[in-house]
Structure formats: structure tokens, C-alpha cells
């Protein structure tokens, strides 16, 4: 088919479609939104935020947060850091070394379409005389313009060893939660050697943005129906029912993880380890109570063989090295290099979960490089989740 | 083949008189979908000599999230510039400003293949190697499809018949689109596919991995006419006691399994503007505005938060640059090499002072740019995407393909961004989406 005839054919086909569809009598469509990593939302969740010093086996890491206002009006947000590091971060969390789940909150405000950023270890200070940080310029060359731009508010630094989450909730100028859906964000985890991994913040969209069904109180209702704590029903979309991750089969202290076929192609060998970070959807910042759940994992290998395991999510934050969770994730057990894992709360009454995955690809005799991906979500939690903000004084 | 598709289109759409159409989900990279788009694949495996960022290959992972087997019809778009030498090609890929000077010309060529995936099965392949059923001769390192005709599932399901093409060139740059199809190769409305890409660069014993999720375009599924958020398979699913109240009838979307896939869009049904594109009922006097998509429409605007090029990373002090890859949502795979369609792309760039700048470029088939080159600057320091001009570390860029009055081809875009740290690593990220548009996009399959 030549160029002209192809174009004519296409046009004819499209016209046909239009004419036939024109015979329909139809209803107005409505679009339902879900928790998203690609659209502006009213609640941003950054499940993995780390700021850790160097140790004998690990480089120091820090996290750069980027948030933008995607609307043409001012946007305000109330943000919460939750530190999931235990008091002795050199030891694994345990009953005697429980994660602190310490929350610190702060406010940010963004002018129309304004992007902003900060490094979590340093936060961002506000100049009392307006924007005064030196701007980037080529004359003379100056490219360390970390503080240039309108300050989004005073953002505190995190503690010296921080492994936890950041949640930002859109509010109005009085501080009341609203369904604006004006915020988007990204987190970049950077190690001192310049390696970086990046993921999109998870956005929980407010419902009925036009009519703002949000009652503006301190109890935010994520999905679900009318309950005593949510007398008007859902104000935001529900957390997903199931999270899905494709990953390399893991390793543990008894056996190596799956190798990276690309690195193997060009270097002498490799191993990939996977960390899944999970945070609860239900959180009560007023009473410092965080949702708990038994998280089930259904694992499918490349032979479509199914295995399962579970762990309790009893703290505010869990960073799971899959190989350490259970040997069922290991290549020695699964027998294949790749797997698909589906994660969900065992009971609808328990908290929903959100998360992100990070892979660590190690070269034999070489470096380790990191790579983050957003998880896939499936379905909505029918009973919903609740976020409770601290009340006024 | 296309004529047959046309007959199917007629007959199936004719059967839908009285039905309504609605979009129930959005294009997303975090939900399973019926169409997967991998905007950027890259290989450069040669070590004689290695490229400026080392040896490169791309790993693709796809899984079926349903408990039923599924097949994919995939289209590998080769957008590798044609250059007189590998050195010239590498320079052209690294910087489009060097393409003309190095004697390179752009091109687009499509290759397609089928893959059969069993229930809930994860699969993976290297773009440089392709894949097929595992055999004793398959090199140990090369991912292959393990459920063969001789080693099927107990229920007999296997990957038999799958043959994933390797990239036709090395170096190679391009995109991949995969469409859910049935056993006969006809598109089906099943939102069961998810995927990821990992691009790995290796120099000696130092590796750098970046990953992004495939962008999923969901098919419009049956829904209740009274509440389009309720899925159904028949009318009883829309009536009590299944639903609390009467939610009307179960509406079947117009996916006719034909070779023209309609992505989003609205048209006037009846009235004086019958058949015209519409945004609302006000555009359709004496008629109504109806959705026309078999699949959800592509986003109207892409949004990218990024570091301005040349700024120093505040953690490491290393210079940061960003590459942007854009591919068209509409594509005619039959005529792609002969008549790729050009789309003008408008960019709005905001810095942290809320100062706004804009520029534009044209995308034909595939585009991958260091963002500082988008405005046509010859040096980074004069670009509106550079920290030197914008003054702040980060910015927000809104990207919009310009719609024109072409009823056969939409002009929306999809893409992915990559962040590079000088002497450091890279990180890829999916773009954000905003809105939809009344015009449909079309995928024309061979």
C-alpha cells in the first residue's frame, strides 16, 4: 500500500468509526481514579526516605525530595516524616530494638506550578529577607544552587540516622485538608559515589474535587464506606488491595541470589538483591499509633509454580530484604531467575499497605548499583484506611 | 488483512447501538493493562572499543497478572539513526546535535512478534538476544521461556509458539509496544499485563542500572450504565442484590478485536455535528457526546520534574543532566517506515521562582534528547533547561503534543526520563500525566 492510499484508508476507517459510533445514545462517562504514581494527588507518600552515614560495608546515603504544585493557584501541604529506624540502627529491629516510629511534621507552600526540592539530611531553611540564596549562573560559573528559588517553608533536617517515610497532605491556607489533587513528587536516593535510584511518590487522590467532599477535619478517610470515624464515607481513594512486584530471585546467607544477565554479559559475574519497603496506609499521628497487618506474599516462579509466606507488619515501616524474609524467595528454592510476587494484608480489617522496591545489582569484584521501581497496584481495599492528623492545641 | 478488520469494525460497532462507552481507568505505569509501552530500549554491546558509557543492554520483564494464559503481539520500533560508522552513531545517540555533522539520518522500522505467557507467569528477555523456548543449547546466562512443548504445565499450558526478536542492530535504540491478544492474535480487552525495563551500563567491573515501569494503556472493560465505576459481566451484576441500588445495564465496550485500536476520544452521536470530535454535549447540538475508545486515551499533558542541566547534585556535588525520551501514542505500524507522522511538542518550563519559559520541538516516531538540546541551543549554558539560565536547581516541565485536525491520528505522547550524574550513576523515572483530550489516538496493526 502506498503512502497516499494508506492515508486515505486510514481516514476512511476513522470516518466510518465516527459515523457508526454516532448512532449510539450514551451516558456521560465518569473516570474512577486509583492510588497513582503518575498523577497529581492530595496525599503524597514517599515510602522509602533514607539518610544514613557510611559504615564498613555501606556508603553513606541521602535522599532528595522533589515536590511540585501542578495547579495555577497556591498549594499548601502538611508533611510528616516518620522515622522507622530502631534506636540502635546497627542492629536489626527486634522487640528490644523496636523502630522508633518518631514523627516530625512541617508545612510547605508552593506558588502556582512551582517545583521545589530539599535534601532530607539538611532540610531547607527560610531566609527572613526573601529568596537570598545564590542562583546558578555561568558568569561566573556557579552550579551549587541548592537553596535558590522561593523557599517552600522551613523544612527540618531528619535525624542523623533516618530510615522511614514521608507523607505530605494537601491542605488549605488554614491547614484544613482539601481534595485539591495539586501535588506530585519524586524521591531520589543518592549514595556518595554518585549512584542513584529514583521513584515517583505514591499519590492518593482526593474524591469529588469539584465539590470538595472532604470535611476538612483531622480524620482522612481513604476508601471504604460510612463508619463512625468516617461518617460521610470516603474522602480519598482507597489503598490498593494487592501490590505486585516482578523481581529477581533473592539470595540469603546460604545461597546466592539470581545474577543479572546484562552484567554477566560484560563482566565476570553478578548478584541481585531486592528490598521491598512497606508502610501502612492507616496511621494515627495524633496518638502515634500505626496500622498493623499480616502481609501475605504469593510468589510465582517462571514455571507458574506458586509459593506463599507471610510476615507481620507491626511497626510503622518495614524494609524487607526478600532473601532474609524467607528462603521461599531464593533462587535455590524457586528454581528460576525471575518471579512475580503479590502482597496483600491478610485481613480486610488490618491496615492496607503501600510500598516501593529497590534492587541492588552487585558486580563480582566491582560495585553495587541501585535501581528503584514503583510497585503495581491491583484493586481497592473495600473497608478503607484512616489517617488521623495531630489536632490543634 | 486490514479490509477484514474493517468488516469486523463495522459489524461489532453496529451491534453496540444503544450502548454507552466510558473510560474507567487511566493510562498508568503502576497498573496492569492491555497495552504496554516501553518508550526506550538501548543496546550497545560492543567492547571494541566500548561506547562512552560502556557496554549497554536492556532487560525487559513482563508478567501476566491473571489466572488465565495470555498472548502479546509486540512491535519493536527500530529508531536507530543511520550513520556512516559506529562512532558516529554513538555520538548521534549521545547528542542529537551531532547527528547531522556525523552524517546520520533518522529512520523508523517496525518488527513484530508474538509471545505466549501462562497464568501469572513472569518472563524476561534481553533486547540484544531476544528469547524463545528454553533448549539445552540455550546459553545459561540468556533468559529464555521455560514452559516448552516438552515441558509444559500440568494443564498443558506452555510458552510454545513464542519467538521474541532480538534487536536488529547493535547499537540499537528504539521502543516496544505490546498488545494483549487472544490465541488467534486478535486484540482482547484484558488488563492483565505489567512490565519493567532495566537499562544496564557496564564499564569494566563497574555497573550502573536504571529502571522504569512500562506504561500501561488499559482496555475499556464492561461497566454498569448507572455507575461506570462498577465492573460487570452481565446485567445482573448491575442490579440488587449485587449492587445496593439499580445501576442500569451492563455495557459492553466497543473492542471489536480489529486491527485498528482506538485509544480514547469522544465523538458526537447524532445531531448536526454527528461524527465530529467533541468535548461535551454542548459540542453536539441535538445529539450527545460519546466516548469512542476501545482503550483509554493517552494523557493530554506529560509532566516532568527534573534537575536543570548542569546543576550540581546537592548530595554528591556531581553535575546532573537529564535525557527525555518521547514516543507517539498513535502509530501506524503498516506504513511506519514510509510515512511516520510528525508531532509538534510544546514545552513549558517553570523554575523554583515560578518563572515560566517555553519552547517547542518536533517528534517523529521516536525522540531522545538531552533536555538542554530541546530548545535548539548549541551549548548547555544557553538553554532554558540549564541551571545557568534558570538559576535554580530543579524545575517542572509540562509537555504537550499539539493536536491538529487529523481524524486519523492523535498527537499525544508517552515518555520516560533519565537522570545522569557525571562520574556517577543514572536513574530513570516515569513521567506524570495530566488530563485527556477529545481526539482519539489510533494504533494501526498490520
pLDDT tens per residue across span A117-153: 999 999 998 876 666 789 999 989 999 999 899 999 9
pLDDT of B244 reads 82
Average pLDDT, chain A: 88
Q: Among all residues of chain B, which has the CA nearest to that of A371? A: B210
State how far the Cα of A113 lies from the Cα of A239, in Å rounded to an integer.
27
* B213 vs A10, A192, A374: nearest CB: A374
Element counts in chain A: helices (H) and strands (E):
4, 24
Q: Is A234 part of any domain?
A: yes
As a three-state string, the secondary structure of chain B is: CHHHHHHHHHHHHHCCCCCCCCCCCCCECCCCECEEEEEEEEEECCCCCCECCEEEEEEEEEEECCCCCEEEEEEEEECCCECCCHHHHHHHHHCCHHHHHCCCECCCEEEEEEEEECCCCEEEEECCCEEEECCCCCCCCCCCECCCCCCCCCCCCCCCCCEECCCCCCCEEEEEEEEEECCCCCECCCCCEEEEEEEEEEECCEEEEEEEECEEECECCCEECCEEEEECCCHHHHCCCCCCCCCCCEECCCCCCCCEEEECCEEEECCCCCCCECCCHHHCCCCEEEECCCECCCCCEEEEEEECECCECCCCCCEEEEEEEEEECCEECCCCCCCCCEEEEEEEEECCCCCEEEEEEEEECCEEEEHHHCCCCCCHHHCCCEHHHHCCCEEEEEEEECCCCCCCCCCCEEEEEEEEECCCCEEEEECEEECCCCCCEEEECC
Contact residues, chain B, for A369 at CB < 8 Å: 207-209, 425
Q: Is A138 part of any domain?
A: no
- pLDDT for B199-213, tens place per residue? 999 999 999 999 999
Say whether A32 and B209 touch across the interface (CB within 8 A).
no
Overall average pLDDT of the B366-377 stretch: 92
pLDDT at B15 exceeding the cut of 50: no
- Note the pTM of the prediction, 2 decimals: 0.91
Task: For cell 517553608, name the residue.
Answer: A153
Total length of chain B: 446
Q: Is A263 part of any domain?
A: yes
Contact residues, chain A, for B62 at CB < 8 Å: 246
* A24 vs B27, B121, B290: nearest CB: B290
Overall average pLDDT of the A14-30 stretch: 35
Q: Which domains does chain B have, with CATH numbers?
A: 31-217 (2.60.290.11), 301-435 (2.60.290.11)
Q: Is A17 part of any domain?
A: no
- pLDDT for B233-289, tens place per residue? 889 999 998 888 898 888 877 677 788 999 999 999 888 999 889 988 999 999 988
Residue B99 cell numbers, joined: 547527528
What number of other Cβ atoms are within 10 A of residue B230's Cβ? 19
B80: left (phi over 0), alpha (psi -120 to 50) or beta: beta
Q: Is A224 part of any domain?
A: yes
Contact residues, chain B, for A116 at CB < 8 Å: 352, 394
Residue that wins the pLDDT comparison between B27 and B310: B310
Confidence of residue B303 (pLDDT cuts 50, 70, 90): very high
- pLDDT for B104-158, tens place per residue? 998 999 999 999 999 999 999 999 999 999 999 999 899 999 999 888 988 889 9
Task: State how many domains chain A has.
Answer: 1
Q: Is A14 part of any domain?
A: no
DSSP A392: P
Q: Is A146 part of any domain?
A: no
Contact residues, chain B, for A149 at CB < 8 Å: 351-353, 391-394
pLDDT of B231 reads 79
Q: Is A142 part of any domain?
A: no
- pLDDT for A278-331, tens place per residue? 999 999 999 999 999 999 999 999 999 999 999 988 789 999 999 999 999 999
Domain limits at A363? 43-122+157-388
Say whether B396 and A111 touch across the interface (CB within 8 A).
no
Overall average pLDDT of the A207-224 stretch: 84
- pLDDT for A363-378, tens place per residue? 999 999 999 999 999 9
pLDDT of B27 reads 81
Amino acid at each position: 500500500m502506498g503512502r497516499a492510499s494508506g492515508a486515505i484508508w486510514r481516514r476512511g476507517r476513522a470516518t466510518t468509526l465516527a459515523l457508526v459510533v454516532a448512532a449510539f445514545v450514551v451516558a456521560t462517562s465518569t473516570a474512577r481514579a486509583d492510588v497513582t504514581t503518575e498523577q497529581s494527588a492530595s496525599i503524597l507518600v514517599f515510602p522509602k526516605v533514607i539518610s544514613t552515614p557510611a559504615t564498613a560495608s555501606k556508603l553513606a546515603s541521602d535522599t532528595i525530595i522533589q515536590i511540585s504544585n501542578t495547579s495555577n493557584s497556591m498549594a499548601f501541604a502538611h508533611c510528616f516524616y516518620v522515622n522507622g529506624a530502631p534506636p540502635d540502627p546497627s542492629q536489626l529491629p527486634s522487640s528490644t530494638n523496636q523502630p522508633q516510629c518518631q514523627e516530625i511534621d512541617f508545612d510547605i507552600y508552593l506558588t502556582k506550578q512551582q517545583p521545589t526540592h530539599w535534601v532530607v539530611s539538611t532540610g531547607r531553611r527560610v531566609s527572613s529577607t526573601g529568596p537570598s540564596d545564590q542562583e546558578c549562573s555561568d558568569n561566573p560559573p556557579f552550579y551549587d544552587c541548592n537553596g535558590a528559588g522561593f523557599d517552600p517553608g522551613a523544612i527540618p533536617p531528619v535525624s542523623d540516622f533516618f530510615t522511614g517515610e514521608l507523607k505530605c497532605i494537601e491542605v488549605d491556607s488554614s491547614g484544613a485538608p482539601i481534595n485539591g489533587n495539586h501535588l506530585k513528587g519524586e524521591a531520589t536516593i543518592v549514595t556518595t559515589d554518585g549512584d542513584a535510584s529514583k521513584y515517583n511518590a505514591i499519590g492518593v487522590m482526593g474524591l469529588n474535587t469539584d465539590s470538595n467532599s472532604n470535611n476538612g477535619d483531622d480524620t482522612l478517610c481513604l476508601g471504604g464506606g460510612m463508619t463512625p470515624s468516617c461518617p460521610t464515607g470516603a474522602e480519598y481513594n482507597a489503598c490498593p488491595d494487592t501490590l505486585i512486584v516482578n523481581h529477581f530471585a533473592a539470595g540469603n546467607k546460604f545461597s546466592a541470589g539470581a545474577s543479572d544477565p546484562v552484567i554477566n554479559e560484560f563482566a565476570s559475574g553478578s548478584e541481585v538483591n531486592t528490598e521491598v519497603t512497606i508502610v501502612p496506609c492507616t496511621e494515627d499521628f495524633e496518638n502515634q499509633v500505626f496500622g498493623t497487618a499480616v502481609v501475605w506474599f504469593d510468589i510465582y516462579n517462571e514455571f507458574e509454580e506458586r509459593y506463599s509466606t507471610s510476615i507481620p507488619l507491626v511497626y510503622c515501616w518495614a524494609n524487607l530484604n526478600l532473601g532474609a524474609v524467607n528462603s521461599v524467595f531464593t533462587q535455590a528454592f524457586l528454581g528460576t531467575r525471575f518471579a512475580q510476587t503479590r502482597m496483600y494484608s491478610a485481613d480486610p480489617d488490618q491496615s492496607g499497605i503501600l510500598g516501593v522496591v529497590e534492587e541492588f545489582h552487585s558486580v563480582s569484584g566491582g560495585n553495587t548499583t541501585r535501581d528503584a521501581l514503583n510497585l503495581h497496584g491491583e484493586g481497592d481495599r473495600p473497608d478503607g484506611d484512616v489517617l488521623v492528623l495531630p489536632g490543634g492545641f | 488483512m486490514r479490509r477484514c478488520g474493517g468488516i469486523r469494525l463495522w459489524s461489532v460497532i453496529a451491534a453496540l447501538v444503544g450502548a454507552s462507552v466510558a473510560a474507567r481507568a487511566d493510562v498508568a505505569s503502576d497498573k496492569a493493562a492491555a497495552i504496554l509501552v516501553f518508550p526506550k530500549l538501548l543496546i550497545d554491546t560492543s567492547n571494541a572499543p566500548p561506547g562512552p558509557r560502556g557496554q549497554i543492554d536492556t532487560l525487559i520483564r513482563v508478567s501476566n497478572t491473571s489466572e488465565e494464559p495470555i498472548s502479546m503481539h509486540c512491535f519493536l520500533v527500530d529508531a536507530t539513526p543511520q550513520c556512516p560508522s559506529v562512532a558516529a552513531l554513538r555520538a548521534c545517540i549521545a547528542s542529537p546535535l551531532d547527528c547531522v555533522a556525523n552524517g546520520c539520518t533518522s529512520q523508523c522500522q517496525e518488527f513484530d512478534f508474538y509471545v505466549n505467557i501462562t497464568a501469572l507467569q513472569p518472563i524476561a528477555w534481553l533486547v540484544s538476544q531476544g528469547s524463545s523456548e528454553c533448549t539445552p543449547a540455550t546459553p545459561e546466562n540468556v533468559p529464555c521461556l521455560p514452559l516448552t512443548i516438552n515441558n509444559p504445565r500440568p494443564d498443558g499450558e506452555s510458552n510454545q509458539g513464542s519467538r521474541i526478536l532480538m534487536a536488529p542492530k547493535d547499537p540499537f535504540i528504539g521502543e516496544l509496544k505490546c498488545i494483549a491478544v487472544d490465541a488467534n492474535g486478535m486484540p482482547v480487552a484484558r488488563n492483565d499485563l505489567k512490565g519493567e525495563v532495566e537499562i544496564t551500563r557496564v564499564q569494566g567491573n563497574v555497573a550502573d542500572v536504571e529502571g522504569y515501569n512500562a506504561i500501561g494503556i488499559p482496555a475499556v472493560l464492561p461497566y454498569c450504565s448507572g455507575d461506570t465505576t462498577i465492573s460487570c459481566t452481565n446485567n445482573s451484576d448491575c442490579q440488587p442484590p449485587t449492587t445496593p441500588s439499580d445501576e442500569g445495564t451492563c455495557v459492553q465496550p466497543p473492542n471489536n478485536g480489529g486491527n485498528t485500536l482506538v485509544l480514547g476520544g469522544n465523538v458526537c452521536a447524532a445531531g448536526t455535528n454527528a461524527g465530529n470530535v467533541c468535548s461535551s454535549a454542548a459540542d453536539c447540538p441535538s445529539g450527545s457526546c460519546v466516548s469512542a475508545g476501545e482503550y483509554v486515551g493517552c494523557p493530554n499533558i506529560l509532566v516532568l520534574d527534573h534537575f536543570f542541566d548542569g546543576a550540581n547534585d546537592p548530595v554528591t556535588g556531581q553535575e546532573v543532566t537529564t535525557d527525555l525520551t518521547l514516543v507517539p501514542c498513535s502509530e501506524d505500524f503498516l506504513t511506519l517506515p514510509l510515512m511516520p507522522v510528525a508531532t509538534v511538542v510544546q514545552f513549558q518550563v517553570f523554575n523554583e521562582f515560578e518563572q515560566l519559559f517555553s519552547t517547542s520541538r518536533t517528534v517523529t516516531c521516536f525522540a531522545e534528547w538531552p533536555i538542554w538540546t530541546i530548545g535548539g541551543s548549541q551549548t548547555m549554558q544557553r538553554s532554558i533547561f540549564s541551571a545557568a539560565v534558570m538559576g535554580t536547581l530543579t524545575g517542572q516541565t509540562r509537555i504537550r503534543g499539539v493536536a491538529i485536525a487529523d481524524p486519523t491520528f492523535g498527537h499525544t505522547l508517552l515518555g520516560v526520563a533519565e537522570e545522569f550524574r557525571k562520574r556517577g550513576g543514572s536513574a530513570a523515572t516515569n513521567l506524570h500525566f495530566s488530563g485527556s483530550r477529545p481526539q482519539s489516538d489510533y494504533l494501526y496493526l498490520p
